[in-house]
Amino acid sequence: MDGDLFAGVMSGTSLDGADAVIADFSPSSRAACQTLGAAHVAYPTLLRDELLALQLSGSNELGRAGVAANMLAELYAEAIAKALAVARLAPERIRAAGVHGQTLRHRPERGFTFQLNNAARVVERIGIAVVADFRSRDVAAGGQGAPLVPAFHAALFARPDLHRVIVNVGGIANITDLPVDGAIHGFDTGPGNVLSDLWCARNRGTIFDAEGAWAATGSVDAALLAVLLDDSFFATQPPKSTHRDRFNLAWLEERLARAGTSGAAEDVQATLVALTARTIADAIRARASGADEILVCGGGANNHTLMRELARELAPRRVATTAEEGVPVEQVEALAFAWLARETLAGRPGNLPSVTGAAGPRVLGAIYPR
């Protein structure tokens, strides 16, 4: 077993599938980490539909969640196996896999967060120790339990002479502020792709708007945008985090009704992209106004319409993607959970109290031995 080879798996709020990486954190690697292999496994329609349904209470909810957790475990193991094949490595070479699970409820204000997973099943299928349930310890310590990636962002992207902000646009968007001097900060800014994905599915029958092409055909509805921005979450001071518990189809439908929107569906889509760009930019202007450079990762980094909106909102700052720093946008979060698994096995804290609001640094996660 190599000393610093870890796997990481992330399946985010967008519910499109699982990304897995094999990461080398050894001192001899060329950077803070080196990706040796990566793979993506898409969710089958049946699983995606069930995960969407489980976002809300329903009949036989616990039984259905148990079945879905087993399906997720099989998919996570498949993703790790594929990443191992790309890396040409055997499972016994890997110290552990950080497997975040699929968030179904995130209510830190009520003292809990729930990520659907069956980590023991992943261990049995792939033969690698698994670290899971990363958020709960931070929440128990009074924190938000999210975002957890800023510590990894700092390890990978911080520079001594450049004030950077890392923007992750998954289903929910979050920022990490990496000033040259001072504490690292970060928080969820609001919806990333979650609302535009839902609207695209309803109107186009596809689970996301590839490259933002459909949004590019519409025009921003200023009146609707004002109604969408009228939510107390955006004005709430960090630390803060959110999920589909808040930003969901019911939330969107209520605001469409309030705005009296009767325009074209593509105009709504363009406005939802504008909402994501505006709330990210507002957060940066309010909390990281001195930033020189913005690096974007997550699925939203592939949305050309969103990237243009962010560049316009944040000018004259440079807006680029993490790919330009050698880290593919779809790998950043999976790498982060590989790194968090490494920190857990080393007995080091993985949270940043300046980000989550926890009472102090905490070692995160539960370890399922091989």
Which residue range forms the structural domain that includes residue 346?
5-146+331-368
Same domain, residue pair 193 and 337: no
Asked if 168 and 223 sit in the same domain, the reply is: yes
Shared domain check, 112 and 192: no
Strands 293-297 and 318-321, by their bridges, are: parallel
How close are the terminal C-alpha atoms of the chain, in Å?
A: 12
Strands 172-178 and 185-191, sheet pairing = antiparallel
Residues 156 and 138 in one domain: no
Q: Are residues 191 and 64 in the same domain?
A: no
Q: Using CB atoms within 10 A of its CB, is residue 299 exposed (0-12), middle (13-18) or buried (19+)?
A: buried
Q: Are residues 158 and 138 in the same domain?
A: no
**HEC readout, 142-204:** CCCCCCCCHHHHHHHHCECCECEEEEEECCEEEEEEECCCCCCEEEEEEECCHHHHHHHHHHH
Are 186 and 278 members of one domain?
yes
Task: Verify that 87 and 154 share a domain, yes or no.
Answer: no
Same domain? 166 vs 22 = no
Q: List, as one string, the DSSP characters of 77-142.
A: HHHHHHHHHHHT--GGG-SEEEE--EEEEEEGGGTEEEEE--HHHHHHHH-S-EEE--HHHHHHTT
Same domain, 64 and 138: yes
Question: Prior bond to 91 cis, omega within 30?
Answer: no
**Residue (of 347, 367, 360, 349) closest to 155 by Cα position:** 349
In the three-class reduction of DSSP (H, G, I as helix; E, B as strand; rest coil), residue 278 is classed as helix
CATH number of the domain at 16, please: 3.30.420.40
* Planar angle of CA 154, 159, 160, nearest 5 degrees: 120
Say if residue 175 is in the same domain as residue 284.
Answer: yes
pLDDT at 30: 45
Q: For residue 157, what pLDDT is reported?
A: 95
CA 193 to chain centre: 10
Block mean pLDDT (10 aa), the chain, length 370: 84 90 79 89 96 92 97 98 98 98 95 97 98 98 96 94 97 97 95 96 95 98 97 97 94 96 93 98 97 97 98 98 95 97 97 97 98
Q: How many domains does the chain have?
A: 2
Do both 136 and 155 map to the same domain? no
Structural domain ending residue among the three candidates 325, 341, 358: 325
Q: Residue 240: CB partners within 8 Å, gap ≥ 6?
A: 144, 187, 188, 233
Backbone φ and ψ for 274, nearest 5 degrees, come out as -60, -35
